[in-house]
Structure 1
Amino acid sequence: MNAHDHIAPSDVSLDRNFAHAAAGSAINCPPPQPKRTSSGAFSIPAFKFDTSGVPIDHQYESWRNSFSSMLELGECRDTSRGFEGKQTVWDLGSLAFSRIRTSALEFASVPGHTRRETLDHWALTLPLDGSISTEGPAGGFQGGAGIVQVHSLGRWFEGSVTDSDMLVLFVPRDSDPEVARALSAAEFSSVDTAMGRLLSDYFIGLAKRLPAVEADNLPELVGATQAMIRACLLPSPGNIEEAQAPIARVLLEKARHIVQSRLFDPSFNAKVLRRDLAISRTGLYRMFEPFGGVMHYLQHQRLLDAHAALADPNDKRRIIEIAEQRCFSDGAEFSRAFKREFGYTPSEVRAGRKSGVPSRPAGEIATAAPEERLGLLLRKLHG
């Protein structure tokens, strides 16, 4: 049984909409073939469409057709210049998630009396670049990169989008009562709040991980996504508690990126990281307690980076120069810390006698519950 066997009736029209673009050009949207992940299990089905495989003078029309059951796109422009449009849509069973790249255009909701099929989903859109402006029932709103916007496909709205790359989560109204309540309260608005930014981070992480997620894990993935929506749009204590695991994974990955970007910054410390993450001192302590604290983790990452530089035969710098770049001002201190971490000296790595960094056993990841694996994997990658 594959993921399509679990599609709820309200999602069938959603999948047809994205498959519709293939009608005139099979080369752009081949039927999705089951693929296996590195573990041998089937991955989540994904549909793709790219206007570059369509004759130039038909590219914009094909893009319009691909959205015709949910949006009316603006009238035809100079077709001789072509139109850039790319989309990948993952079928999550009771949800759909997509990444869309589009040139600038205008859009409007499809009037109810003209629809070929009933579409009454919410669309949660996160621009990765560019911006979207919308006029809805309660007035206008707009948002740019990093800000989730909520549209209701069953109601009137119109607007425009610049050249943009975006992520979109489609949520049927009957998916979950609490999710529906949260989205009803937030529809036709930009969620520019601290919790809204957390939802943005979750979307970005989801887009990165989906190609490797096994189809058998869809129930856990959908549950975590619904919990994030409830926690970020209706942040009651109960909702936030339910979403603690996915929230912690989002924050941990964000912390990892911040640390990696500041490895060479001597002024970077726990206080700066806490400010960048916008969390409490206690929250930061709990996050990094498994790693021996923020500063221990930071030093570990700097030593890992130094190890890679020392093992690189093309890096001819002196050991002390590599150490100083990573905020070690004393060569002897660097050598002692390096040996404590890896069990051998920087000189042995530079001489080629040691090159590989020992990794932690992965057995605990394989035996963990599916919803815990991403967090464990991130911790393993952290060292």
Structure 2
Amino acid sequence: MRYSEFGTSKLPAQQQLEAWQAWYGRVFDTSTLHAGDDGFTAHARAWNLDGFALNHVTAPGLSVLRTKTLLRREPVDHWAITLGRRSVTWLDTGSTTLTAPAGVPFVVSLGQTMKNEREADDRIQLYLSRDSFHGIAPLLDACCARPLQPAGGALLADYMRVLLRNLPTLDETDALRLTDATRAMIAACLAPSAQRLGEARPLINVTLMEKVRRAIRRHLRSSALGPELICREAATSRSQLYRLLEGEGGVGHYIQKQRLSEAFSMLCDLPATTTIAAIAEMLCFADSSSFARAFRREFGVSPSDVRDAARAGLPPIPAGAGAHEAERGSFVACLRGAPSLAGAALDHRA
């Protein structure tokens, strides 16, 4: 896995746009939508893996062209899947037009001319080589410059966010498993079938788990946190939520574990003037005694032990405690524990 990064913020304002244009110049012609603005502060990160790349780009409003001249100069014909996170994208391929709202991914082929425009945005992009993704070529070509089905598009957007969040921490061995996993996930999102959904099920569950985790973390201090709120925010059914968290001891147990984890961080970070009873109340425990019992069961030490160790600059828990729990259900655990993803022979027939 190769990583590259480029930004314009440290350049003089009058050189920023030109530097950005040079960075993309062999593949795209770029121009700003607001020529009168001072400077062009933009940033790009790219992870190049086996057969595909993931880019994360933050930039002001842009017009981007892929012209016939560029096709001859740099005849790369990868597919590109783009997820704009803040801005609507307008796309014109000459034969079709598409307006993609923020949060909705869309597919294009770099083997054709196109123009797209969008205002300032934070974008995630997958570039897929035809050699590595030829098995699902009909699916990708059929979706080029067309609106994706809502359910599949939402799942693909979530998966792209999961990739961006996890790629920086993957080692080389785990990264090697990503091409097949990503191929399976894209196929399941673009053209769902029982077979494709089955092949991608471990990644679908991890992607949903990320949404559930985020929903729970947002509401840890709310007494309203429960299955109904989680299902609403994670856009899932109650039965699906129960199945997902069955291995974690159930919804209530998982919420309590997240609250205890938050309490642990608070005991390490908050000033000693915040009492343990106040932390228990903030995190919706019935009283400080029930909080202390649950805390000791989870971590093997009392809340006061953690606070005292933090004051002394000592590690409050023996190294490695809870490591298995932290990894279970994670993206990395999915890659390592799902052999069906490491060579999935996808059925790409219509």
Q: Give yes or no for TM over 0.5.
A: yes
Match of 1:197 in 2: 154
Deviation at 1:218, TM superposition (A): 3.8
Residues 285-300 of structure 1: matches in 2 within 5 Å?
A: 285-300=242-257
Q: Distance in 2 between matches of 1:169 and 1:263?
A: 33
Q: Distance in 1 between matches of 2:234 and 2:33?
A: 45
Match of 1:268 in 2: 225
Deviation at 1:236, TM superposition (A): 1.0
The answer to whether the 8 A contact 2:130-2:137 is kept is: yes
The structure-2 alpha-carbon separation of the partners of 1:169 and 1:86, relative to structure 1 and needing over 3 Å to count, comes to: same
Which stretch of structure 1 is more off in the superposition, 63-72 or 341-350? 341-350
**Does residue 58 in structure 1 map to residue 20 in structure 2?**
no
Q: Distance in 1 between matches of 2:48 and 2:209?
A: 27
Q: Distance in 2 between matches of 1:211 and 1:74?
A: 30
Deviation at 1:108, TM superposition (A): 2.4
Q: Distance in 2 between matches of 1:77 and 1:268?
A: 44
The structure-2 alpha-carbon separation of the partners of 1:267 and 1:63, relative to structure 1 and needing over 3 Å to count, comes to: same
Match of 2:238 in 1: 281
TM-score by length of 2: 0.82
The structure-2 alpha-carbon separation of the partners of 1:67 and 1:314, relative to structure 1 and needing over 3 Å to count, comes to: same
The answer to whether the 8 A contact 2:90-2:98 is kept is: yes
Which stretch of structure 1 is more off in the superposition, 183-192 or 121-130? 183-192
Question: Which amino acid in 1 is paired with 2:85?
Answer: L
Q: Partner of 1:243: helix, strand, or coil?
A: helix
The answer to whether the 8 A contact 1:249-1:375 is kept is: no
Match of 1:175 in 2: 132
Match of 1:71 in 2: 28
Q: 1:121 pairs with 78, 85, 90, which one? A: 78
**Does residue 360 in structure 1 map to residue 317 in structure 2?**
no
Q: Partner of 2:273: helix, strand, or coil?
A: coil
Match of 1:165 in 2: 122
Q: Distance in 2 between matches of 1:342 and 1:113?
A: 59
Match of 2:64 in 1: 107
TM-score by length of 1: 0.75
The answer to whether the 8 A contact 1:112-1:154 is kept is: no
Q: Distance in 2 between matches of 1:318 and 1:146?
A: 41
Match of 1:88 in 2: 45
Which stretch of structure 1 is more off in the superposition, 295-304 or 134-143? 134-143
Deviation at 1:74, TM superposition (A): 3.4
**Does residue 213 in structure 1 map to residue 173 in structure 2?**
no
The answer to whether the 8 A contact 2:28-2:70 is kept is: no
Q: Distance in 1 between matches of 2:269 and 2:71?
A: 63
Taking only aligned residues, the RMSD between alpha carbons, in angstroms, comes to 3.3
Q: Which has the higher contact order (CA 8 A, sep 6+)?
A: 2
Deviation at 1:130, TM superposition (A): 2.6
**Does residue 328 in structure 1 map to residue 258 in structure 2?**
no
The answer to whether the 8 A contact 1:199-1:229 is kept is: yes
The structure-2 alpha-carbon separation of the partners of 1:177 and 1:315, relative to structure 1 and needing over 3 Å to count, comes to: same
Structure 1 gaps, min length 5:
1-43, 377-383
The structure-2 alpha-carbon separation of the partners of 1:127 and 1:315, relative to structure 1 and needing over 3 Å to count, comes to: farther
The structure-2 alpha-carbon separation of the partners of 1:188 and 1:318, relative to structure 1 and needing over 3 Å to count, comes to: same
Q: Distance in 1 between matches of 2:243 and 2:325?
A: 24
Q: Distance in 2 between matches of 1:280 and 1:210?
A: 29
Q: 1:151 pairs with 108, 118, 134, which one? A: 108
For this pair of structures, how many residues does the alignment match? 331
Deviations 1:71-127 (A, max 9, x none): 222389758933223222221131121111222121222126862121222111111
Deviation at 1:340, TM superposition (A): 3.5
The answer to whether the 8 A contact 1:58-1:79 is kept is: no
Q: Distance in 2 between matches of 1:125 and 1:113?
A: 20
Match of 2:264 in 1: 307
Question: Which amino acid in 2 is paired with 1:151?
Answer: V
Deviation at 1:199, TM superposition (A): 1.3
Q: 2:207 pairs with 228, 250, 267, which one? A: 250
Deviations 1:237-276 (A, max 9, x none): 1111111121122122222121111111111112322333
Match of 1:226 in 2: 183
Q: 2:5 pairs with 36, 43, 48, which one? A: 48
